[in-house]
């Protein structure tokens, strides 16, 4: 009888995680012993001793490179990348395989930051940790980061899929040939795919809804070089000009009749060709949030989907909160869905936080059966905002935006310039 081995470990750093699975026969055992050697673990009397917390060292990378040189096993490449991404001297966690909730992961990552922080930093971090625990006692967190989530969401077998928007299956005539991006590809998302979005719904959202959100961020996409399915976009301006990316530079070409050439340029209005529909911007944010939400919550959002996909209305929409902050810059979109755990109806059931570049959109997911309040008053979200440790100190900078208007309007952007002395 041949012995088979299977061992699984989860490694977690401040910014990422990796699951290591070792299984097989003799080769797996050899690999496991090499793996133990990387971390200085001891194997005695059929017992393995691992530490829970490690510091990333240069020696770990050297040991991996020696193993790769001798065996060229691809199994160690993900581990090498995980360790390379950690600064030398910073801590990471080594745990048995255990599915961590996003809330648990966030608290553990804060613990790592506290281990690596200065005494002054740690005082602030400990207060943040306390706030995060208070938040996660009320809300479950569902966090999606495209850089970390390289796999698709939902049912992998096409014949078993049921579209999460229209409810159709292959047996009912739906097709699932296209790659449906849960977050618009125009925003740089290449990895988060929703398997359970049929081709008809993917085409509907891709042609009618999501372009408005992408066009609303058109200038930012060019300035920061955000690449969609057709690369970084370039725009012809209605006021006779162009906005485009050339290498690492953003180039704005405007007709001289639109500016005063006799004085220093202090501001410039850009008038974009594609019009935007505020309601479709709202629907895009809700669609992104719903597309990554754990399946168990979809039954609470049946009315939401009817509004999102078919335009049915169930009352006035709440305003969206927006925040512009360079210190919160994100090169790829991050979604955090907050799902209320109890029946405290003073708080919305699901709130979605969408962060991209220097922009944050805080959106109440409307029409949930778990809400008995539409949250349409200006201060209806104040109690929720006060729960967010990274947002509440910036409360005075939050702006209320009414995106309920269902009409196409011109998109204009005023750029202000400041001369910087070299």
pLDDT in tens, 152-209: 899 999 999 999 999 999 999 999 999 999 999 988 888 899 999 999 999 999 999 9
pLDDT on residue 96: 77
Helices within 72-209 (DSSP H only): 77-84, 102-116, 119-138, 199-204
Residue 332 has what pLDDT? 87
Please measure the distance between the N-terminal and C-terminal CA atoms of the chain and give it in whole angstroms: 75
Residue in the block written with tokens 């906005």: 243
- Which positions ≥6 away from 223 have C-beta within 8 Å? 250
Distance (Å, whole) CA 279 – CA 402? 9
CB 190 within 8 A of CB 146: yes
Across the chain, which has 422 residues, the per-10-residue mean pLDDT values are 67 89 63 74 65 90 83 75 93 85 93 91 92 96 75 90 97 96 90 95 96 88 79 75 78 64 63 86 98 96 98 95 90 94 95 95 97 93 94 92 92 73 62
**Cα(305)–Cα(303) distance, rounded to whole angstroms?**
5
Q: How many helices (H) and strands (E) does the chain have?
A: 11, 17
Rounded to 5°, the CA angle 237-407-303 comes to 130
Pairing between β-strand 17-24 and β-strand 42-44 as defined by DSSP bridges: unpaired
For 293, half-sphere exposure in the C-beta direction (CA atoms, 13 angstrom radius) is 27
pLDDT at 412: 81
Q: 123 in helix, strand or coil? A: helix
Residue that the structure tokens 């801590």 belong to: 91
Does residue 253 contact residue 241 with C-beta atoms inside 8 Å?
yes
Residue spans per domain, the chain: 5-99, 158-276
The answer to whether 23 and 6 have CB atoms below 8 angstroms apart is yes
User: Quick one: pLDDT at residue 334?
Assistant: 93
Q: Do residues 302 and 379 touch, judged by C-beta distance below 8 A?
A: no
8 Å CB contact between 214 and 187: yes
Token couple for 390: 């990274």
pLDDT at 49: 67
Per-residue confidence (pLDDT) for residue 147, from 0 to 100: 64
- Cα 210 from chain centroid? 16
């Amino acid at each position: 009888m041949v012995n088979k081995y299977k061992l699984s470990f989860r490694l977690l750093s401040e910014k990422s995680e990796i699951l290591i699975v070792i299984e097989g026969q003799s080769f797996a055992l050899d690999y496991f012993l090499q793996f133990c050697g990387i971390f200085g673990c001891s194997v005695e009397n059929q017992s393995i001793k691992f530490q829970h917390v490690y510091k990333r060292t240069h020696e770990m990378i050297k040991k991996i490179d020696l193993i790769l040189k001798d065996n060229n096993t691809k199994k160690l490449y993900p581990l090498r990348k995980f360790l390379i991404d950690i600064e030398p001297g910073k801590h990471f966690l080594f745990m048995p395989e255990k599915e961590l909730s996003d809330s648990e992961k966030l608290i553990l990552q804060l613990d790592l930051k506290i281990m690596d922080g200065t005494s002054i930093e740690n005082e602030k971090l400990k207060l943040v940790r306390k706030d995060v625990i208070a938040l996660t006692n009320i809300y479950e967190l569902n966090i999606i980061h495209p850089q970390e989530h390289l796999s698709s969401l939902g049912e992998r077998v096409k014949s078993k899929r049921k579209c999460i928007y229209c409810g159709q299956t292959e047996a009912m005539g739906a097709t699932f040939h296209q790659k449906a991006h849960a977050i618009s590809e125009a925003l740089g998302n290449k990895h988060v795919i929703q398997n359970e979005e049929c081709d008809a719904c993917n085409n509907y959202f891709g042609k009618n809804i999501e372009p408005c959100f992408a066009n609303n961020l058109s200038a930012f996409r060019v300035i920061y070089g955000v690449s969609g399915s057709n690369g970084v976009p370039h725009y012809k301006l209605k006021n006779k000009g162009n906005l485009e990316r050339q290498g690492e530079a953003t180039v704005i070409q405007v007709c001289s009749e639109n500016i005063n050439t006799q004085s220093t340029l202090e501001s410039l209005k850009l008038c974009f060709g594609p019009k935007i529909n505020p309601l479709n911007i709202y629907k895009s944010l809700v669609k992104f949030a719903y597309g990554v939400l754990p399946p168990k919550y979809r039954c609470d959002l049946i009315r939401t989907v009817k509004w999102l996909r078919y335009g049915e209305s169930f009352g006035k929409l709440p305003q969206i909160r927006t925040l512009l902050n360079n210190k919160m810059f994100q090169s790829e979109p991050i979604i955090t869905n907050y799902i209320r755990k109890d029946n405290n109806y003073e708080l919305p059931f699901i709130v979605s936080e969408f962060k991209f570049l220097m922009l944050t959109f805080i959106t109440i997911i409307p029409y949930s059966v778990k809400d008995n309040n539409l949250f349409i008053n200006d201060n209806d979200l104040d109690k929720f905002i006060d729960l967010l440790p990274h947002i509440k100190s910036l409360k005075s900078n939050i702006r209320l935006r009414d995106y309920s208007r269902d009409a196409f309007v011109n998109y204009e952007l005023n750029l202000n310039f400041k001369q910087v002395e070299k």
